[in-house]
């Protein structure tokens, strides 16, 4: 009996150590991948478009491409300015660093939200949840070359990725609670998706439709 207990304890210790080793290695791969691209030469030209709009917004109080001119809609993501503008205020003398830090901040936020989505909002045993977290990090680490390019591009891609992940978290929370407050939040976030990137409005339609569809199917099976 004592031998079985000791064997079980050893197995648990080995599994825990493997978990932390894989977690640390995957995280380091992601971090060093991003740091290796931390250069002005990896910023996309279009990223400076957001910085210019942020500058004009701060100086003239309106969204315009040309300083002091009429407002114009030339951005793929208007809401990305809520990230760009504060960083631009803090780093007023370096537009390149502003752009890169904005996309990088959103990129790491995306990773954090992805882990939260997997660990907290998926119904499974703790062991499976930890395994899914590892799988998520390993998948991101394997895609490090392309992922780090977006992290350092200065573009709104990582912002859109974070936004979609947040939307999915709220959608799952609504599916579980069906509370009015969460439903209103889901509707607002879904509607604002157009200002993040018009193409992600697809999620604003598909996710609520799926919730309604599967909820009806569940009621039908129960009936």
Closest CA to 120 of 75, 158, 165: 165
Interval 108-153: pLDDT, tens: 999 999 999 988 888 888 888 888 888 888 899 888 889 999 999 9
Query: What is the value of pTM for the model shown?
Result: 0.86
State the Cα–Cα distance between residues 223 and 220, nearest whole angstrom. Answer: 5
State the Cα–Cα distance between residues 48 and 163, nearest whole angstrom. Answer: 21
pLDDT(6) > 70: no
Interval 31-64: pLDDT, tens: 888 888 888 889 999 999 999 999 999 999 888 8
% pLDDT > 70, the chain:
89
State the Cα–Cα distance between residues 23 and 21, nearest whole angstrom. Answer: 5
Interval 168-181: pLDDT, tens: 999 999 888 888 89
Break the chain into its structural domains and give their ranges: 2-222
State the Cα–Cα distance between residues 158 and 30, nearest whole angstrom. Answer: 14
Quick one: average pLDDT of 184-198? 92
- CA distances (Å), 52 to each of 169, 192, 215, in order? 32, 22, 46
State the Cα–Cα distance between residues 179 and 165, nearest whole angstrom. Answer: 20
């Amino acid at each position: 009996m004592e031998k079985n207990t000791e064997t079980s304890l050893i197995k648990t210790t080995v599994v825990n150590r493997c978990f932390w080793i894989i977690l640390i290695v995957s995280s380091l791969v992601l971090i060093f991948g991003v740091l290796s691209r931390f250069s002005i030469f990896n910023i996309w030209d279009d990223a400076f478009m957001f910085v210019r709009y942020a500058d004009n917004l701060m100086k003239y109080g309106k969204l315009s491409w040309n300083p002091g001119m009429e407002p114009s809609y030339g951005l793929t993501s208007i809401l990305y300015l809520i990230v760009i503008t504060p960083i631009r205020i803090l780093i007023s003398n370096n537009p390149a660093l502003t752009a890169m830090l904005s996309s990088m901040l959103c990129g790491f936020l995306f990773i954090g939200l992805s882990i939260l989505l997997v660990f907290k909002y998926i119904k499974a045993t703790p062991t499976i949840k930890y395994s899914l977290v590892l799988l998520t990090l390993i998948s991101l680490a394997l895609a490090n070359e392309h992922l780090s390019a977006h992290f350092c591009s200065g573009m709104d891609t990582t912002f859109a990725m974070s936004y979609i992940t947040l939307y999915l978290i709220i959608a799952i929370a609504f599916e579980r609670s069906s509370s009015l407050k969460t439903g209103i939040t889901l509707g607002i976030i879904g509607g604002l998706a157009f200002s993040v990137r018009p193409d992600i409005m697809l999620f604003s339609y598909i996710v609520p439709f799926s919730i309604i569809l599967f909820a009806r199917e569940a009621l039908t099976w129960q009936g």
